[in-house]
Chains A and B, each alone.
Chain A
């Protein structure tokens, strides 16, 4: 092996270089297993090269982003690689999201080129009808685009039959380290999704650290559980391909409880939200030693209960278990805690596993309301800084200024810190303990949800100001869903309100129950008394 082909730290290089190096080192190893088909590094590289060439032909201008409307298909994964090979970032759009929400994301991103998988063709016309400018649509799975050309004459369609010379691998494009790798949208309190652009350097910093941390190698077999709209999917794709490993895409029908998939596919690297442990435990799937192939199990996206870590360790006795933590704004995960079956139970607070120590080359600070550091062991808001921390929100300077700050006691230190809104405490060893949120943000199955966004939708449809959504039920420290209270609207409107919520909100944000109240509980400040609403739910035992 030449020095050139050995894995090297990739900070400062385009993210795609990791995949390209794996194509050279392991051309015949499997890079991707999806929908019952396997693709080697060489074949996936060729497909991605085709897409890259088409992107550059169709969208050669300065627009930095390509949208990908696809889900758990070859086109979804080759589309990501194709976009990066063409020197562009990608904007994942999940076809199952409401069209209204997809439209907001597409328009906000400014993308002029969209890669569309076969699984999304049924919603394509509806989405294109909302476009504010002509778009170029790549249809790698369609032989003929005639139907769409007739129905949507404003837009240009390129079907698979229009073969271009593929891009040579490695990618010919130089990429600025600050260029956007991907643009993700999270729940926003104003009713619109909030864009978080994550740079090439943010991701290469993470990938470089994590590959070493877990000793990732070409024989590894990675789970791919997360939707591409969820930033944790970036770990699955790019950590796997950096070292020539195989990405095993869990089919939609298995995502809820993938025990059989883990066994059948002999996975070695697992990454999911902790809720999946709860689902599998409820279904009697976590037998002792059932996941003997796993050597690393990572959980992120919501608090990890100690009981879940214990259950998983029993099922995967040879696996390291780590609880990872990181907001989208700080790229995938930025702290980690390795579970120790003997020592860790006593380290948990309220039965929740610590979020651990910050990754190398990143930094933490715990501050009070005046933004001054708190003494060790005191509670405060967690702030993060370092190469993984993004630069701010997409086209939203006001929101950026609120969350990305300089600290007053920095003594000439001009670093920018991201305020997480997470309440933590840090012990003398630097270990961090998650204690809750400072605002109304909750996590539902790992998805970030601003309750105010749900309230915004409820106010509009029910035509009353007195609405409040609440994370409920909460078991083992994990919110399982959302319910909502409404005052001043007729209960007969329940079906209409729920139908509207389903039309505009992702499935995990739709209230599972609506409660219509005659009297609205207010606290001494005249604000909605959420504690009383929770008490109502507890009393009801719902």
Chain B
């Protein structure tokens, strides 16, 4: 079972290194930054982030019942995954 802090760190590393992510000038990447609204990821890039999260957690993503606004930040996504929204693959 992955811990929230650990997942936050892994996602942050992925966003910083992935070619799919671009941090626009004047944008500071924090755990609360909305990855879509800030332009760091487009929707396809976000899907690729979910694929990455599945690979590190071994869990199938299940974000049903949530609105994207609740999980498009690093903190929000990590919390949604760790708090059991997702199921074992």
Contacts and interface: CB of A to CB of B under 8 A. Distances in A.
State which size class the interface on A falls in: 20 to 34
Contacts of B20: 512
B83 interface: no
A38 interface: no
Nearest to B60: A284
Nearest to B87: A284
Contacts of A261: 67
Contact of B72 (A253, A285, A445): A253
Nearest to B65: A260
Interface in B39-79: 39, 42-47, 50, 60-69, 72
Given A480-B44, A512-B44, A259 B64 contact: yes
A445 B64 contact: no
Given A254-B69, A256-B36, A285 B64 contact: yes
A507 B60 CA distance: 29
B62 to A, nearest CB: 4
A257 B68 contact: yes
B10 interface: no
B86 interface: yes
B33 interface: no
Nearest to A278: B47
Specify the main secondary structure of chain B where it touches its partner. Answer: loop
B68 A254 contact: yes
Contacts of B61: 282-284
Nearest to B67: A260
Contacts of A512: 19-20, 42, 44-45
A127 interface: no
A99 B66 CA distance: 34
Contact of B42 (A285, A507, A513): A507
A253 B42 contact: no
B18 to A, nearest CB: 10
A287 B85 CA distance: 13
Interface in A249-290: 251-261, 275, 279, 282-285, 287, 290
A257 B20 CA distance: 19
B64 A253 contact: no
A253 B69 contact: yes
Interface in A427-446: 445
A508 interface: yes
B24 to A, nearest CB: 8
A256 B43 CA distance: 7
A537 interface: no
- Chain A to chain B: the 8 pairs with minimum beta-carbon distance, closest first: A284-B62, A253-B69, A283-B63, A260-B67, A285-B64, A256-B43, A480-B44, A257-B68
22 contacts: A253-B34, A253-B37, A254-B68, A256-B36, A256-B68, A257-B63, A257-B68, A260-B66, A261-B67, A279-B43, A279-B47, A283-B62, A283-B63, A284-B62, A284-B86, A284-B87, A285-B63, A290-B64, A480-B44, A502-B22, A507-B42, A508-B42
Interface of A: 251-261, 275, 279, 282-285, 287, 290, 445, 480-481, 498, 502, 507-508, 512-513
Given A255-B68, A256-B36, A256-B43, 13 more contacts: A253-B67, A253-B68, A254-B67, A254-B68, A254-B69, A256-B68, A257-B68, A259-B64, A260-B67, A261-B67, A275-B43, A507-B42, A512-B45
